[in-house]
Structure 1
Amino acid sequence: MAFTSYHFILFCALLLSISSYCIGQNSPQTKALILAVKKDSTTLQYITQIGQRTPLVPIKLTIHLGGQTLWVDCENGYVSSTYRPALCGSTQCTIAKVNTCGNCSTSAPKISCNNNACYNTPENPFIKTLYSGGEINEDVLSIQSTDGSNPGKFVKIPSFIFTCVPTFLTEGLASGVKGTVGLGRNRIALPSQLAEIFSFPRKFAVCLSSSTQSSGVIFFGDGMMLPKIDVSKDLIFTPLITNPFGTGSVPFLNEPSSEYFIGVKSIRVNGKTVTINKKLLGIDKRGDGGTKISTGTPYSILETSIYDVVTKAFIDELSNATRVAAVPPFETCFSSKSVGSTRVGPAVPTIDLVLQTTRVYWRIFGSNSMVKVSQDVICLGFVNGGIKPTTSIVIGGYQLEDNLLQFDLAKSTLGFSSSLLFHQTTCANFNFTTKA
């Protein structure tokens, strides 16, 4: 009798109580996987839903682009017959690069509180909090497949590695959200686990919708496409840079950051280069400086001196528009009646993040630079990050919306599209209803 994928999954299920590590086997038809992602109108976080546990429970999670793990509140209502703690010294703990092992303080072990357990350091970027007692565990996880343009069946992973945390770490997350989905550059983050389990290329693509009513999409593997438009063919590529220190993740462990950095060399406003202290654009020996991409902040953040020269140049280039009072957190605001409109948003100066050469740049149009704060007021959607922040430039969620970003972990490259409005499409146009 042939040993099929069905038999493999059944075999894994039988071994759950005795095996230290067992992963799901992909169906031959599974070419890629997807998550639907919707912007929360209150917190501006990007929310998805994943099935977890036995029986399966839909769990709302916030996307954390640079997060090192999928972490879930296990203190409040976690029930599952397939939950298994990872023991210190196990394969799971090795993969997770744990920072400590220990025993639970209670006399009777329970979910998220076990003896001989291993711990990592999950992060909630929205309250800037690290938790050193995140317990490594395994459980069933369910995620939807796709052929690239239409959704397919849900597939189950019998033993997905995740982190259990106490309820307090969910502070600051959107209503009903139980944790975060880490998409960072390490082995227990969602992209790397899925790539290993399903033999996908180690790549994923993010397409965040600017609408709070319609979902964007995250693709894992190959075959990303919006209806009738393969925008992946028009991507521009730049190297991903490794920050040797864990800024925003586990800084005290002195290990490489799981977050995504790119090499911005200069900034242009309306095609004109602004004067910036080039030292701020590099990453120094302490891991400070540089440019990272993050969904942990709703708007891009610029170190004060960078912010000052960019906003001054922007105001000078938009001298015909009427300035109005600042609307926190934004300092540079205009009357919307004095600004025209284009296919790619308000008719304002473009902002270019110039990368490895002057011909390679990420262009930010009005749709991603201007925020409508009231019926009559629009503001430049960049925030003053102060003097000597850990990272000089943080490209936030608003600047990512309706842009297609492909993170290739194997090649250590980022592919980006700039605004999809030029292609007469948006990130909300993936078809989540038509079955493959």
Structure 2
Amino acid sequence: MNSTRNVLNIILILCVCLSWGCTDGAQKRENGEILTHTIELSSLFPSSSSPCVLSTRASNTKSSLHVTHRHGTCSSLTSDKATTSPDHAEILRLDQARVNSIQSKLSKKLTDRVRQSKSTALPAKDGSIFGSGNYVVSVGIGTPKRDQSLIFDTGSDLTWIQCEPCVQTCYSQKAPIFNPSSSSSYYNVSCSSAACSSLSSATGNSGSCSASTCVYGIQYGDQSFSVGFLAKEKFTLTSSNVFDGVYFGCGENNQGLFTGVAGLLGLGRDKLSFPSQTATTYNKIFSYCLPSSSSYTGHLTFGTAGISRSVKFTPISTITEGTSFYGLDIVAITVGGQKLAIAPAVFSTPGALIDSGTVITRLPPKAYAALKDAFKAKMSQYPSASGVSILDTCFDLSGLKTVTIPKVAFSFSGGAVVELGSTGVLYAFKMSQVCLAFAGNSDDTNAAIFGNVQQQTLEVVYDGAGGRVGFAPNGCS
């Protein structure tokens, strides 16, 4: 009798598991969906001796540039002693400075701007953003063209480079500093021009005059700055993608954390940004893929060339109106296939944005707590480790070759569901300290930020004209 009852109980349990998936212990659902990633731990620690693997998309698409990690194997900057990679603590410190600046700008706390005097003096700080500047592209500037390594930034508008002569100071860069007098296509912009008047929205500081020539100034949240002349010049992306008369800043007084690179490529939404200036050709559409490690390249592609048919779009939210940023509406997060119990207002009240320069994704406190708890529960087989800086959920994976982690996915308005790549969930300091690559904001009113660790290997599409942002997997291949 008892044996018959036990058999019936086993059958009942099996039926429940088949019906509900027994998700706590299962590796996949009934429909075959895999709920975990298994990662080779060695992939979290790329070797400096690893060969550079080039993105086929960047190599084969006419309007594509190779994206390299600034301090990685593929970067032309790595041989420069001045570009020694910052340690993790410094990266996270700079990341927090960038986040503070973004959130301050969004909250409109910096409303009182000191008017800039009519000189090349440092402009008043207004909350423009910069951080560790992880990703770099090479752009030809001038006639004859000089290749310049530029950090690309979706949170900035004005493109600028260092220029000779350095009136006060220039930081160290790998390539020779651009000399405008050696370019036949360079010319300065009048301070009475509409473009000079547009500097206020693009940089937060009004243009000023020096002998009728427009002077720009931009200072970032970490105290880095660039001051110089607003100018027009020929920009060469590829041999078949050349643009005359692009507005940019020719900086003669520059200082900060840009060491090694020539300047910055602004991909924001202002009319002085590069996508806006090339809108007649590309219709404000560009896409990129950030590589999974520093020994791979990704791509930055302008226009619709090569965009995957599997891209899922979400509308740009209104939270970022009047700023450079591309806003998102997060509606849900799932961990290991399970939707987290997060009230909609947790996301909708502060809003969210996507940013190429923020490293670690920031979430509202309640959302981060739910994510952390769910992730820790599904990682209970691994010993915990002490936190580092802003990262408080860490594991000791010493002696292991692989780690199995739950998949994490974000749902955005419009039905777009984005599953993060296997490298988009963890941030590794050392084998004994591998951390969940998310952090909580300090305040419920601070916007969430979808950072670049989570964007790795995704194809991210910015459709400025269509007012939407899209995502697709396997974007670097």
Q: What is the TM-score normalised by the length of structure 1?
A: 0.70
Q: Structure 1 residues 155 and 200 mapped into 2: Cα distance closer, same or farther (>3 Å)? A: closer
User: Conserved in 2, the CA contact under 8 Å of 1:50 and 1:141?
Assistant: yes
User: Conserved in 2, the CA contact under 8 Å of 1:242 and 1:257?
Assistant: no
> What is the CA-CA distance between 1:369 and the residue it aligns to?
0.3
SS in 2 for 1:331: coil
> What is the CA-CA distance between 1:129 and the residue it aligns to?
5.9
User: Conserved in 1, the CA contact under 8 Å of 2:225 and 2:254?
Assistant: no
> What is the CA-CA distance between 1:408 and the residue it aligns to?
0.8
> What is the CA-CA distance between 1:154 and the residue it aligns to?
5.2
Q: Which amino acid aligns with 1:373?
A: F
Residue 143 of structure 1 is matched in structure 2 by 237
Q: Deviations over 1:43-78 (max 9, x none)?
A: 561011112134422222111122112122334444
Partners of 2:336 and 2:275 in 1: how far apart?
36
Q: Structure 1 residues 330 and 211 mapped into 2: Cα distance closer, same or farther (>3 Å)? A: same
Q: Which amino acid aligns with 1:378?
A: V
Within the candidate set 70, 80, 84, 2:180 is matched to: 80
Is 1:273 paired with 2:334? no
Partners of 1:318 and 1:244 in 2: how far apart?
36
Q: Structure 1 residues 279 and 116 mapped into 2: Cα distance closer, same or farther (>3 Å)? A: farther
SS in 2 for 1:354: strand
Within the candidate set 387, 397, 402, 2:443 is matched to: 387
> What is the CA-CA distance between 1:164 and the residue it aligns to?
3.5
User: Conserved in 1, the CA contact under 8 Å of 2:346 and 2:366?
Assistant: no
Within the candidate set 124, 145, 166, 1:56 is matched to: 145
> What is the CA-CA distance between 1:264 and the residue it aligns to?
0.5
Within the candidate set 410, 413, 423, 1:353 is matched to: 410
| Identical columns (%) | 22
Is 1:321 paired with 2:405? no
Q: Structure 1 residues 54 and 38 mapped into 2: Cα distance closer, same or farther (>3 Å)? A: same
**More helix, by proportion:** 2
SS in 2 for 1:213: coil
Partners of 2:252 and 2:406 in 1: how far apart?
46
Q: Deviations over 1:152-198 (max 9, x none)?
A: x25432311112345444x122x3112211111122212222232xx
Q: Which amino acid aligns with 1:69?
A: L
Residue 66 of structure 2 is matched in structure 1 by 36
Is 1:312 paired with 2:409? no
Q: Which residues of 2 match residues 196-275 of structure 1 at below 5 A?
A: 196=280, 199-224=281-306, 232-244=308-320, 256-275=322-341
Q: Structure 1 residues 40 and 117 mapped into 2: Cα distance closer, same or farther (>3 Å)? A: closer
Q: Deviations over 1:278-299 (max 9, x none)?
A: 444236xxxxx21111122222
Q: Which amino acid aligns with 1:260?
A: Y
Residue 136 of structure 2 is matched in structure 1 by 47
- Structure 2: which 5+ runs fail to align? 1-60, 72-84, 87-131, 171-176
> What is the CA-CA distance between 1:80 and the residue it aligns to?
1.5
Asked which structure has the greater CA Rg, the reply is 2
Within the candidate set 229, 237, 242, 1:156 is matched to: 242
Q: What is the TM-score normalised by the length of structure 2?
A: 0.64
Q: Which amino acid aligns with 2:430?
A: S
Within the candidate set 235, 257, 266, 1:172 is matched to: 257
**Alignment size in residue pairs:** 341
Q: Deviations over 1:94-128 (max 9, x none)?
A: 66566534323xxxxxxxxx535264x64646x27
SS in 2 for 1:234: coil
Q: Structure 1 residues 339 and 233 mapped into 2: Cα distance closer, same or farther (>3 Å)? A: farther
SS in 2 for 1:308: helix
Q: Deviations over 1:324-344 (max 9, x none)?
A: 222344211123369885xxx
- Structure 1: which 5+ runs fail to align? 1-30, 105-113, 145-152, 226-231, 246-255, 284-288, 421-425, 430-436
SS in 1 for 2:309: helix
